[in-house]
Chain A
Amino acid sequence: MTLIRTFARTLLGGALVASLAVSAPALSQARDPAYEAARVAGQVGEKMNGYLAPVGDQSSTVQKLVDDLNNRRRENYAARAQAARPPATLQEYAFAQGCILIGRLENGMKYQAPDGSWKTKNGAADRDPRCP
């Protein structure tokens, strides 16, 4: 009886570990697959101001995806800008975020250069001189 119980416990623990192992890579792929696909296809680019934008004319689906993510970003920026000590403005926080996002962008992704044009990331990005 005790043996069965121990066995059951081991089985349960194993299942728990397995489920954790499954959820770990899922965390690193946190992006919505449609967003990830639009990024890779160069339909969506990272702007200097910390927000996304469709690159050229895109479908209403892509536009909606961009709007939704930008709304969520704005909310996040506003909260974090206010929580910073000393507090920053929404624009300051968003711009600082844009610097780091463009800097960390994978090669082949689109971003906005200081002259306003869309560029494809290839090594070091053409960023605003104020970016860290």
Chain B
Amino acid sequence: MTIASLTKPAPSAHKPRMGKRTLAGMILVLGSALAGGCVSVNAPDKPIVIELNINIKQEVIYRLADDVRQNIEANPEIF
């Protein structure tokens, strides 16, 4: 006796359809890509310089003014 069987697995009686939400999401992603809404990040061609001088307060510079003037007189060889 031979047993007749299918070579392929039996298809499901219900074929799941794409959910409405998934479809809307795909349209949104596609739409924003087409509209050029992608955020592109490019590496800067100039070196990044961290400006430390901006943190120095004028008040401090004025307070040190006399000391640095004396420093020039005391150590002329390094200036």
Chain A contact residues, CB within 8 Å of chain B: 27-28, 30-32, 48-49, 69, 72-73, 76, 80, 84, 88, 91-93, 95-97, 99-101, 104, 128-132
- Taking a contact as CB atoms under 8 Å apart, the answer to whether A31 and B61 are in contact is no
Closest chain A CB from B32 CB (angstroms): 40
Inter-chain contact B77/A32, CB cutoff 8 Å: yes
Give the residue name and chain of the B residue nearest to A96 (CB): B64
**Contact (Cβ within 8 A) A49 B53:** yes
A88, B67: Cα distance in complex, Å:
11
Q: Which residues of B contact A91 (CB under 8 A)?
A: 52-53, 55-56
The answer to whether A100 touches B76, judged by C-beta atoms less than 8 angstroms apart, is: no
Among A76, A80, A130, contact of B61 (Cβ-Cβ < 8 Å): A130
**Nearest B residue to A129 by beta-carbon distance?**
B58
The complex places the Cα of A76 from the Cα of B78 at a distance, in Å, of: 9
Q: Are A31 and B65 in contact (CB under 8 A)?
A: no
For the complex formed, measure the closest distance between the CB of B59 and the CB atoms of chain A, giving whole angstroms: 9
Q: How far is the CA of A49 from the CA of B79 in the complex (A)?
A: 13
A92 touches B72 (CB 8 A): no
Docked Cα-Cα span, A105 to B77, in Å, equals 15
Contact partner, B53, options A28, A95, A101, Cβ 8 Å? A95
B22 at the interface (CB under 8 A from A): no
Q: Is the CB of A92 within 8 A of B52?
A: no
B residues sitting closer than 8 Å to A (CB atoms) are: 52-53, 55-58, 60-65, 67-69, 71-72, 75-79
Instruction: Decide: B72 and A96 in contact? CB cutoff 8 A.
Output: no
**How far does the Cβ of A116 sit from chain B's closest Cβ, in whole Å?**
9
A92 and B56 in contact, given A84-B67, A100-B65 (Cβ under 8 angstroms): yes
**In the complex, which residues of chain A have a beta carbon less than 8 angstroms from the beta carbon of B63?**
84, 88
Question: Which of these, B53, B64, B75, contacts A76 with CB under 8 Å?
Answer: B75
Q: A48-B53, A80-B67 are in contact. Are A95 and B61 (CB under 8 A)?
A: yes
A48 and B49 CA atoms in complex are apart in Å by 15
Contact B72 A88 (CB under 8 A): no
